[in-house]
Amino acid sequence: GLLSAGIDVIDIGLAPTPLTGFAIKLYGADAGVTITASHNPPEYNGIKVWQANGMAYTPEMENRLEAILESGNFKKAPWNEIGTLRKADPREEYIRKALEMVHLDGSYTVVIDSGNGAGSILSPYLQREMGNRVISLNSHPSGFFVRELEPNAKSLSALAKTVKAMKADVGIAHDGDADRIGVVDDEGNFIEYEVMLSLIAGYMLRKFGNGKIVTTVDAGFALDDYVRPLGGEVLRTRVGDVAVADELARHGGVFGGEPSGTWIMPQWNLTPDGIFAGALVLEMIDKLGPLSELAEEVPRYVTLRAKIPCPNEKKAKAMEIIAHEALRSFDYERLIDIDGVRIENSDWWILFRPSGTEPIMRITLEAHTEEKAKALMEKAEGLVRSAVERA
């Protein structure tokens, strides 16, 4: 399709998403394309397009591209002007550049679980080149996934057992295209996303100096409380890696991440990169100590999540009602309405947000005590159910 429109194509073959983003800049390309379902099962495969700077296409750019495709109003090249095709493998260059940025004084035992995804062809090799002893788990890209692709405590139970059995220093896991990272500590415990996000944001501040940390509206207070003493200022934006990358570029931030294991290191690239993130986790352990001890330093609050069924056609009206009722019935101090409605007080916050992929409304909230969190959730669920009925 691209060749027929006169576009020159560099085919990097089977590749994790971070390698696509890296290759765009390495080869001076105008754009990149990844075919992936990311952290979802393979039946959700789609096309993700990347800009020349490694940032994903914005929703506005995607809409323009889809409109051109649907209209059929694009030019096909004559036979003598079709694009050229060449194959390339940027893996060696990726590893070489990564080793220029990440340095270890010691050597560690690392278990890598790539979930049979595309990260298998790069993540274990980078860790080995860093001087670590690597134990691979689910690291052959078979196309048949033996675990749920999203890295979480349940899907990484085998990784946790392996880390413990092999007395490893850390376990690193990826989703299908390796733009995400999940981490198991030296005691075999899955480190909650919020805790890991806080730790790596703090480490980036130590490594690169004071600055802005960009996260999304569904991230909790632990991040703010952890990075503030380290000279970090937290900015919140819409959910999605493109929104985080956009804010990072706009404000010259030090680090950006979502509480889903999606991290963006602007000093490296504006593409979410679970593989480079794994290298940074090892550097953090090397410089600061065992992960199990570091995780104890991050404050923990009570987080609850709920999904309320809501037909897609009712979402807009339901959100109008939710916004009106929430602002009227909760005693809040601050409102963020860039993506859904987030209301905050000094010791709790609630986010009401329609899902972008499923017919549901999401409620995410955090409080300092379980009692307070449960009371807030009961009230929030009742409000959303009522709004969906009335929409």
Q: How many CB atoms are located within 10 Å of the residue 79 CB?
A: 7
Q: Topology of 302-390 in CATH? A: TATA-Binding Protein (3.30.310)
Angle between helix axes 17-26 and 274-288 (nearest 10 degrees) is: 100
Measure the CA–CA gap between 273 and 266, rounded to whole angstroms.
10
Q: 342 near 217, Cβ under 8 Å? A: yes
- Residue 357: what pLDDT? 76
Which CATH number applies to 2-90: 3.30.479.30, 3.40.120.10, 3.30.590.10, 3.30.43.10? 3.40.120.10
Q: How far is CA 69 from the centre of its chain?
A: 28
- Residue 183: what pLDDT? 98
3-class DSSP state of 122: coil
Burial letters 134-168, b for 16+ CB under 10 A, else e? bbbbbbebeeebebebbbbeebbebbbebbbebeb
- Where do the CATH 3.30.310.50 domains begin and end in the chain? 302-390
Residue 252 has pLDDT above 90, yes or no: yes
Question: What is the mean pLDDT of the segment spanning 162-172?
Answer: 98
Average pLDDT of every residue of the chain: 95
- Where do the CATH 3.40.120.10 domains begin and end in the chain? 2-90
Q: 360 near 308, Cβ under 8 Å? A: yes
Q: 247 near 186, Cβ under 8 Å? A: no
3-class DSSP state of 236: strand
Residue 180 has pLDDT above 80, yes or no: yes
Question: What is the mean pLDDT of the segment spanning 214-224?
Answer: 95
Residue 40 has pLDDT above 90, yes or no: no
Measure the CA–CA gap between 262 and 53, rounded to whole angstroms.
18
- Residue 356: what pLDDT? 81
Got the DSSP string for 337-350? -SSSEEEE-SSEEE
Q: What is the pLDDT confidence band of residue 142, given thresholds at 50, 70 and 90?
A: confident
Reference 278, options 102, 142, 150, 143; nearest CA is 102
Quote the strand ranges of the chain, DSSP E: 9-11, 31-36, 46-51, 85-87, 109-113, 133-137, 170-173, 182-184, 211-216, 232-237, 255-258, 262-264, 302-309, 334-336, 341-344, 348-354, 360-367
Question: Known catalytic residues?
Answer: 38
Measure the CA–CA gap between 295 and 97, rounded to whole angstroms.
29
Measure the CA–CA gap between 103 and 198, rounded to whole angstroms.
21
Q: Which CB contacts under 8 angstroms, 24+ apart, belong to 223-232?
A: 223/194, 223/197, 223/198, 225/299, 226/198, 226/199, 226/201, 226/202, 226/297, 226/298, 226/299, 227/198, 227/201, 227/202, 230/202, 230/205, 230/206, 231/205, 232/201, 232/202, 232/205
> In which residue are the tokens 């393979």 written?
42
Measure the CA–CA gap between 368 and 58, rounded to whole angstroms.
35
Question: What is the mean pLDDT of the segment spanning 357-364?
Answer: 91
Residue 143 has pLDDT above 80, yes or no: no
Measure the CA–CA gap between 183 and 189, rounded to whole angstroms.
9
pLDDT tens per residue across span 76-112: 999 999 999 999 999 999 999 999 999 999 999 999 9
Which amino acid would we find at residue 256? G
- Residue 144: what pLDDT? 84
Kindly report the pTM of this predicted structure.
0.92
pLDDT tens per residue across span 330-349: 999 999 999 999 999 999 99
> In which residue are the tokens 């009961």 written?
378
- Residue 108: what pLDDT? 98
Burial tier of 47 (Cβ tally within 10 Å: 0-12, 13-18, 19+)? exposed
Q: How many CB atoms are located within 10 Å of the residue 15 CB?
A: 26
Q: 254 near 208, Cβ under 8 Å? A: yes
3-class DSSP state of 27: coil
Which amino acid would we find at residue 381? E
